[in-house]
Amino acid sequence: MTHLLLLEEAKGNQEELVNIRRRIHKNPGTGFDLSDTLTIVEEELIKLGCEPKRCGKSGIVTTIGNPTGKCFLLRADMDALPIVEETDLAFKSPNGKMHACGHDLHTTMLLGAAKLLKSHEEDLTGLVKLIFQPAEEIMLGASDMIENGCLENPQVDAGMMMHVMPALPLDDGMILISPKGKALSSCDWFEIIVTGKGGHGSTPHTTIDPIVAASNIHLALNEIQSREVATDDFMSLTVGEFHAGTTSNVIPETAELKGTLRTYNDDTRAYVKERMKVIGASIGQAYRCQVEVNFLAGCPTLENDSSLVELANRILPDYIGETKLVPPTALSGGAVQMGSEDFAYFSQKIPTVMSLIAAADSRQSPAYPVHHPSLVLNEDIIPYGSTTYTAIAMEWLKSNK
């Protein structure tokens, strides 16, 4: 079999995989609550002759290949977002949740890879472990699966992930291998709870206004990046939520800030988190409020293994065509990416590589970014994603016999 025949085989599975993708898209779940998606994935794996097993709260693991060789991991995330879908798709979600980040396509492409791997199982020189992961959007799924042994029995030696990449001027189906080293930033979700003393808006002197304190905390947080961190030390500190009060003539008891901290440097990450606590406590004291700074879910930086990056860039043109593989500079001109992915937890345990697949060409109108309620992704990319998963796994196993 020539390498490009694998892509043709993947294209032959397209109709079946599109139907699977639409079932997943129409029945999304969030976090660890993925009952419909889990049922679909397990049913499809069993049809292929695989033996899917649950891992952790709601993950699925299965293996294909030769158990006497090394083990390569392929991972897809399954969870959606708490977004009301605003597309005109016949299979749009009716339940107030939406696959607005393309995880339905990730899952479908990995099922497509399972189909390819199963049909060429006798050619595999090792074992491929397929991981279907929950709760990526809340950054809890990868760590849950790792803690519950997904990298063991058999032990995983290396792995990869794939993510859709819409709203860029690239032909749909183009593949980009992210650069070696740090590929995505760490992420820490935080909440800051400011407690004062509520009261009537006509007598503010009898209250302790938490909104004033919270507003000053917000302003002070912005000054960490501009005044305390070097300009070439990449970080992003964003407050995305500010909640206080329920009506206009009452000073509330509490105010709450929520957001994310993203960095590329572990020392900077630790420094900024400590400074956030000090700023919160100090401003709280100045304004007579109690301040609680909590760091919730998060993940470390995602690390790309240099040898895996080189292997992927070397072999993929033979499988998907030279014009379908694009350099990392095609993504925002090579700018540093401050997005995060909880696959980073895998990258801290084993050598990994992150691949991206163009899925909604911005030259076509409309093309929305991920997490947008009107996002529509091109299903024609499925064969390219399935082939990329399969090719990297097969070639890594060949080179590591």
Query: Token pair of 143, please?
Result: 């760590």
> Which DSSP category does 168 fall into?
S
Nearest C-alpha neighbor of 392 from the set 142, 73, 2: 73
What single letter denotes the amino acid at residue 187? C
Could you tell me the sign of the dihedral formed by the alpha carbons of 187, 242, 141, 175, in that order? negative
Could you write out the DSSP letters of every residue in 286-349?
HTT-EEEEEEEEEE--EEE-HHHHHHHHHHHHHHH-GGGEE-GGGTGGGPPP----TTHHHHTT
Query: Which residues are 263's β-sheet partners?
Result: 235
Distance (Å, whole) CA 82 – CA 313: 36
Nearest C-alpha neighbor of 127 from the set 77, 46, 76, 73: 73
Q: Is 101 labelled as part of a ligand binding site?
A: yes
Alpha carbon 122 to its chain centroid, in Å, reads 32
Distance (Å, whole) CA 192 – CA 205: 24
Say if residues 352 and 146 touch (Cβ distance below 8 Å).
no
> Which DSSP category does 172 fall into?
T
Beta strands 127-133 and 53-55 are unpaired
Q: Is 121 labelled as part of a ligand binding site?
A: no
How many Cα atoms sit within 13 Å of 253 on the Cβ side?
A: 0
Say if residues 177 and 307 touch (Cβ distance below 8 Å).
no
Q: What angle do the packed helices 35-47 and 14-26 form, to 10 degrees?
A: 160
Q: How many CB atoms lie within 10 A of CB 398?
A: 15
Q: Is 136 labelled as part of a ligand binding site?
A: no
Q: Is 103 labelled as part of a ligand binding site?
A: yes
Could you write out the DSSP letters of every residue in 67-131?
TTS-EEEEEEE--BBS-------TT--SSS-B--SSHHHHHHHHHHHHHHHHHTGGG-SSEEEEE
Binding residues for Mn(2+): 101, 103, 137, 163, 371
Binding residues: 101, 103, 137, 163, 371
